[in-house]
Amino acid sequence: MKRRHFAALTTVALAAPLALAQERSTRILIGFPPGGSADVVARLLADKMRVSLGHNVIVDNKPGASGRLALAETKRAAPDGSTLIFSPSGALVIHPWLYQNLGYDTVKDFTPISLASTFDFAVTAGPGAPPGDLKTVLAWMKANPGKANYATSGAGTVPHFAGLLLSQAAGVPMTHVAYRGGAPAAQDLIGGQVPLMVDTAVETIEHHRAGKVRILAVTGAQRSRALPDVPTLKESGIDITADAFFGLYGPPGMAPELVQRIDRAVADALRAPEIQERIYNLGLVPARAGPAELAAIQAAHLKRWETPIKASGFKAE
């Protein structure tokens, strides 16, 4: 009887840590609605990270204020790995130059964990623009200033300023039309309400493949693997590049050992061929970097955007 009792107690004792591990979960916040590129990539990674971390990983959309609400919540979270944020770089490197009172410092108030993807943007024409290449559409816009509009997923975003750089470099004044997300912008592009759109390729790539819109150029230094027949802006005669990244961050004060563990889980996920292929198909590029390198990349992007944003005179409300 004693041996059976001891065995039962031992089984309970061994099962307790396992139960606690199963009960624990990591929540990855997304500051934008479901269906966008950040949301899709985060869910791809979360599915694999569950295996590496040994507990549930949940993607939680907290849209609002162009990602600022989710960042503020992350800053306030406990540094125990239970709350993280998967953020596009714009919220981290553009917003500091736009808002006087963000409520957080994008460098000091977050712990860089992993770079997961880099990406550029697609310049897409809809049925409201004439047929032809980018030069043809820009020439039409110059001749029709009342129709020279470009849509993006929101004011104060990287696509907003990428479009501004395009307008300046081409010598074609264009009016920015800001939407609350890439999906509604794409719908108006398809409907002919706006002739041009600048945003992540994920918003228009399937419509491009279906022939509803035409991706005229990408803003990166190289052609997109998902769009090999689409030229870059430089190949189209516009001497600018604009790119961005997705990174996983945590609240301030996370233990280095915990950061390394989560970073390894992201690295494991990115090594999976099916994950890489899915990311490429979205028009993005899977990219691997740890905490220190992610911090350096963020700092470089922060510096890069300072001058054009200040020169634009744009201030967020």
| 314 CB neighbour count, 10 Å cutoff | 16
What pLDDT is recorded for position 66? Answer: 84
CATH architecture entry for 120-218: 3-Layer(aba) Sandwich (3.40)
Question: Mean pLDDT by 10-residue block, N- to C-terminus, for the chain (317 residues)?
Answer: 47 40 81 87 96 97 91 98 97 94 95 96 97 98 97 90 95 94 92 96 92 97 93 96 96 98 98 95 92 98 94 84
Same fold, 24-119+244-312 and 120-218: yes
Structure-block tokens of residue 276: 């890489």
| Domain range annotation of the chain | 24-119+244-312, 120-218
pLDDT of residue 283: 83
Please give the pLDDT value at position 9.
Answer: 45
Half-sphere exposure of 277 (CA within 13 A, CB side): 3
Residue 23, pLDDT score: 56
pLDDT, tens digit (0-9, with 9 covering 90-100), for 128-137: 999 999 999 9
Q: What is the pTM of this model?
A: 0.83
**Rounded percentage of the chain residues whose pLDDT exceeds 90:** 80
Q: Which residues are CB-neighbours of 313 under 8 A, at least 6 positions away?
A: none
Which residue is associated with the tokens 């590129």?
A: 37
Q: Is the CATH number 3.40.190.150 carried by domain 24-119+244-312?
A: yes
Q: Which two tokens stand for residue 32?
A: 């934008």
